[in-house]
Amino acid sequence: MKRRFKADRFLVQRMGISLIALAAILTVVPIIGLFGYIIAKGAPAISWEFLTTMPSNGMRAGGILPAIVGTFYLTLGTAVLSVPLGIAAAIYLAEYAKENWVTRLIRIAIINLAGIPSVVYGLFGLGLFVLFLKFGTSILSASLTLSIMTLPVIISAAEEALRAVPQSFRTVSISLGGTRWQTIRKIILPQALPGIMTGVILGLERAAGETAPILFTGAAFFLPRLPGSPLDATMALPYHLFVISTQVPEMPIQIQYGTALVLIVFVLGMNLIATFIRSRARAKRQW
C-alpha cells in the first residue's frame, strides 16, 4: 500500500515536470525558429542599394531609405522630448517626493500610462497635436505622441537606477556641505547614468517599433523624398512593413522579408546596446 502511494507520487512528479518542460520547449523553440527564419529569408534582400535608395515602381522595387531615415528621425524626436522629462520626473520620485497620496497618485498614473493601448495614444495624438494644436500629420506630432507613450518606461527605469545608488553617497555629500541639487547632479546622476541609459534605450526601442500611434499622427504611405522639416509627414519602417505586406498587391516577397529584417535589427540592435551598457556598468560598479 505504502509502496504504491510512493510510486504514484513519483509518477505524478515525472508527468508534471515533463509537461512543464514541454510547455517551455514549445515556447522557446518557435522563438528561435522565428529569428532564424527572418534572418534566413531577409538577408538575401539586404544590399547597400536596398538600404540607401528610394523605393521605385510603387514600392515594388528599389530601397527603403526614406523609411529608415523616418524611423531614425521619429526615434530621435521621441528621445529629445521624453528623456529630459522622464529623468526629471524620476529624480522627483526618487529624491524629492514624500510618501503621501500625491506620490501614490503619480505612481498610479505612471502604471496606467504604461498600460494604455498604443492605438489610443494614436487617437490622443490626433486629437491634441494634429488637430487641436494644428501641428498636422507630422514628425513633430508623431514624436510627441510616442514620447508620452515612452515616458512611463523611462521614469520607472530611471527611478529604479536612482534608488539603487546607496544612501551613504547622499549622506556624505550633504555632510560635506553640498546642496540637494549639487548632490543629485554631481554624485547621484553620474552613478545612476548606466541604469538610466538602459531604461532610455529600452523605452526608445519600443517607440521605434510602434505603428499604431503614428498611423494618424505622422506616418506617410509613400513619400518620394526625405522629410525636410519636423512639420513634414514621414515614412517609417514599421508602418512601411504594414503597408507593403497588406496594402500593395503583387509585392515581391523578398522586399517584405528584407524590411522586416532591417526593422528587427534596428530595434534589437538598440536592445543589444542597452544590455552591453548594463553589463559593463555592473562590472565596473564599486558598490
* Contact positions with other proteins (CB under 8 A) in 171-210: 179-182, 205-206, 208-210
* Coil, strand or helix at 247: coil
Among 177, 162, 195, 214, residue whose Cα is nearest residue 277:
195
Among 138, 203, 256, 277, binds other proteins (CB under 8 A): 256
CA distance 253 to 251: 6
Q: How far is the CB of 36 from other proteins (least distance, A)?
A: 12
Site for other proteins in 105-164 (CB under 8 A): 105-124, 126-128, 131-132, 148, 151-152, 155
Write the single-letter amino acid at 81: L
Does residue 267 contact residue 205 with C-beta atoms inside 8 Å? yes
Among 7, 13, 56, 190, binds other proteins (CB under 8 A): 13
Q: Is position 17 an interface residue for other proteins (rule: CB under 8 A)?
A: yes
Q: Is position 238 an interface residue for other proteins (rule: CB under 8 A)?
A: yes
Q: Is position 267 an interface residue for other proteins (rule: CB under 8 A)?
A: yes
- 139-164 vs 101-115: helix axis angle to the nearest 10? 130
Cβ closest to other proteins, residue 101 vs residue 228: 101
CA distance 83 to 75: 11
* Coil, strand or helix at 55: strand
Cβ closest to other proteins, residue 31 vs residue 287: 31
Q: Is position 39 an interface residue for other proteins (rule: CB under 8 A)?
A: no
Does residue 243 contact residue 223 with C-beta atoms inside 8 Å? no
Q: How far is the CB of 139 from other proteins (least distance, A)?
A: 18
How many residues touch other proteins under the rule CB under 8 A: the total is 88
Q: Is position 93 an interface residue for other proteins (rule: CB under 8 A)?
A: yes
